Amino acid sequence: MENTKEYTNGEVTIVWKQALCTHSANCARGLASVFKPKEKPWIHPHGATSEEIIEQVAKCPSGALTAYYNKDKKE
């Protein structure tokens, strides 16, 4: 998809699909150390643990955010 960005901390990768994001800022409220809408890049994958990231990504209401463990992507 167009304008898909990926941010990894080496263990998990956050995938953000800009076109789907409704800018509800749920992510910024829930995990402000990672999601910083006023900054560029706005996602800081080192700002929290992988578990916290996975948990917050699951709460994105629009489906713009997804995440995967890097180890799961490798064959």
26 binds ligand SF4 (CB under 6 A): yes
3 binds ligand SF4 (CB under 6 A): no
Q: Please tell me whether residue 62 binds ligand SF4 under the rule CB under 6 A.
A: yes
Tell which one of 3, 4, 22, 49 touches ligand SF4 (CB under 6 A): 22
Q: Is 34 or 50 the residue whose CB approaches ligand SF4 more closely?
A: 34
Convert 28-40 into a string of H (helix), E (strand) and C (coil): HHHCCCCECCCCC
What is the length of the chain? 75
State the Cα–Cα distance between residues 58 and 50, nearest whole angstrom: 12
* Pairwise CA distance, residues 18 & 66, whole Å: 12
Note the residues at the interface with ligand SF4 (CB under 6 A): 21-27, 60-62, 64-65
